[in-house]
Amino acid sequence: MFGLTSQFRRAAVSIAANIAEGYAKKSLSDKVRFFNISQGSLEECSYYIVLSKDLKYITKEQSDILEELSNDIGKLLQSYINRIKNSNS
């Protein structure tokens, strides 16, 4: 459980850190690259949610709530990426 908790925290921090770093970039392609890295870390967290449920560290209800929040964050990130890509046109 300690290893999973550590990995989950690292991935969660990476989401926010890469959003912050991408936001500060001047180039649109650099911005998108960092937001894509955030998406990868978000997917990693989604996997840890599934794994936590499978290992019975969390309940199905907790898993459902976390998966819904993860999906919402993913939609926001994708919308932001799409907006950046479309602003280049």
Q: What is the pLDDT along the chain (89 residues), one digit of tens a residue?
A: 878 999 999 999 999 999 999 999 999 999 999 999 999 999 999 999 999 999 999 999 999 999 999 999 999 999 999 999 998 65
Q: What is the pLDDT of residue 76?
A: 95
**Domain of residue 45, residue span:** 2-87
Q: pTM for this one?
A: 0.89
CATH number for 18: 1.20.1440.60
Residue 84 and residue 23 in contact, taking contact as beta carbons nearer than 8 Å: no
Q: In the structure encoding, which two tokens stand for residue 82, read together?
A: 């799409």
Label residues 60-69 b or e (16+ Cβ within 10 Å = b): eeebeebeee
The token pair that represents 35 in the structure block: 């937001």
Closest listed residue to residue 43, CA positions, set 64, 61, 70, 68: 70
> How much is the pLDDT for 88?
65
> What is the number of structural domains in the chain?
1
